[in-house]
A and B are shown apart, each in its own frame.
Chain A
Amino acid sequence: MTDEADDKAPNEIDDEIGEAIDEAIDEAILAAVSDYLDGALTGARKAEVAGKIAADPAWQRAHDELTETRKVLSGLQKAHAPSSFADDVARTIHRRSAGRFFARRTLGDRVPLGAVLAVALAGLAVIAYVLWSSATGSLKVDHARDRPAVTGSAAVAPP
């Protein structure tokens, strides 16, 4: 750094200092004009900046350049999402959640787990009762079948 500074002629250093001062002043003006254009100034400060823009060429130039920059920025074309965007998002959600995301609320969150279990147990009990009470149900205990068969051979005496 020192070596570089030593290599420069005094008038070059003066120029650099001058540019830095200009830039600092420029930045202060731009900050004020920027606030003015954003509508962030009120009362006396607003009137003061408006007056400077009208009277001072440096302020006028900062105002024109900032206005132009803002105009160009706001005039940027609006980028539109592809028409399939909503489908793409929905598909991604379905894929990542294995279809559970939009379905989960149907039972999972709204109905308490205890209630779901109670309903399930009641359902099982009804099914069991139906199977038990049915004449052909698999749970029906066939006592007749368990009794020892009384057949004709017992009554018939051996020859």
Chain B
Amino acid sequence: MSELERTLLRRLRDRDERAFRELIESHRDRVFNITYRMLGDRAEAEDVAQEVFISVFKTIESFREESKFSTWLYRVTVNHCKNRIKYLARRHDRDRDELDESSHETNGAAGAPLRHVQPDRALEGAQLELLLQQAIANLDDDQRVVVVLRDVEDLSIEEICEITGLPDGTVKSRLHRARLVLRKRLQRHV
């Protein structure tokens, strides 16, 4: 850890507001990019990114400087994303149940049409981005974490192990599986 980082940490522990702003300015885009790629929705991503920084400020005393500060920050980010994914999944299930009930009440009327990406347009920039985002969103949480950290954020396997607390072999096997799934989904379009 650099002397600059230590000084910043000391100021953070002293609850210096300017230090908090400096920290946010230097990490906000990366944290936001992770939350956005994990959640696939800007509003949710922004909300979670805010909660990440608030958690960091509240628990800065518990950071023991045994790892890089960024590693600790990304760990907090990943944990918040996983919690939000679980919460959204529960809410989605509840909404679906309510929708099922209401559709039974309306004699099985068709629900809102699902949004699909047109395969023939998928090669166009924005569509490819959307297609890829959907492919990432369809991965299971554990695979999504490793693929976002490794292939989107370009973090090393060692850093991912530290962030997730998983052994090397587990990270690699989740990464292989995630890439396999993504490859299959993108195969027809890329």
Interface membership of chain A positions 13-50, coded 1 if the CB is closer than 8 angstroms to chain B and 0 otherwise: 00000000000000100110011001010000000000
Interfacial chain A residues near B57, Cβ < 8 Å: 93, 101
A90 touches B179 (CB 8 A): no
Within the complex, which residue of A40, A73, A93 is in contact with B152, where a contact is CB–CB below 8 Å? A73
Q: How many A-B residue pairs have CB under 8 A?
A: 106
Interface membership of chain B positions 25-46, coded 1 if the CB is closer than 8 angstroms to chain A and 0 otherwise: 1001101110011000010011
| Contacts A72-B132, A85-B49; A80 near B32 (Cβ below 8 A) | yes
A68 touches B154 (CB 8 A): no
Question: Which of B1-9, B16-24, B90-98, B102-110 has 4 or more CB atoms under 8 Å from chain A?
Answer: B16-24
Q: Is B114 an interface residue (CB 8 A)?
A: no
B187 touches A81 (CB 8 A): no
Q: Is A105 an interface residue (CB 8 A)?
A: yes
Cα distance A39–B7 when bound, in Å?
35
Q: Is B101 an interface residue (CB 8 A)?
A: no
Q: Is B86 an interface residue (CB 8 A)?
A: no
Q: Is B127 an interface residue (CB 8 A)?
A: no
Interfacial chain B residues near A65, Cβ < 8 Å: 183, 187
Interfacial chain A residues near B170, Cβ < 8 Å: none
A85 touches B46 (CB 8 A): yes
B29 touches A70 (CB 8 A): no
The size bracket of the interface on A is: 35 or more
Interface membership of chain A positions 67-90, coded 1 if the CB is closer than 8 angstroms to chain B and 0 otherwise: 011101110111111100110111
Interface membership of chain B positions 48-78, coded 1 if the CB is closer than 8 angstroms to chain A and 0 otherwise: 0110011001000000000000000000000
Cα distance A86–B129 when bound, in Å?
27
Q: Is B121 an interface residue (CB 8 A)?
A: no
| Contacts A70-B151, A72-B190, A79-B42; A86 near B28 (Cβ below 8 A) | yes
Name the prevailing secondary structure of the B interface residues: helix
Nearest CB in chain B: distance from A83 CB, A? 10
Cα distance A135–B24 when bound, in Å?
58
A92 touches B129 (CB 8 A): no
Cα distance A77–B132 when bound, in Å?
11
Q: Is B172 an interface residue (CB 8 A)?
A: yes
Q: A65-B187, A80-B32, A86-B25 are in contact. List 16 more A-B contacts (CB 8 A).
A: A30-B176, A34-B179, A35-B176, A70-B151, A70-B179, A74-B151, A80-B29, A81-B32, A85-B46, A86-B24, A86-B28, A92-B50, A93-B54, A102-B15, A102-B17, A104-B15
18 A–B pairs (Cβ distance < 8 Å), ordered by A? A31-B172, A40-B172, A65-B183, A65-B187, A69-B183, A70-B179, A72-B190, A73-B151, A73-B152, A73-B182, A74-B152, A76-B132, A78-B29, A85-B46, A92-B54, A93-B57, A102-B16, A103-B15
- Residue numbers of B with Cβ under 8 A of A are 14-17, 20-21, 24-25, 28-29, 31-33, 36-37, 42, 45-46, 49-50, 53-54, 57, 128-129, 132-133, 147, 150-152, 154, 157, 172-173, 175-176, 179-180, 182-183, 186-187, 190
- Residue numbers of A with Cβ under 8 A of B are 27, 30-31, 34-35, 38, 40, 65-66, 68-70, 72-74, 76-82, 85-86, 88-90, 92-93, 96, 101-105
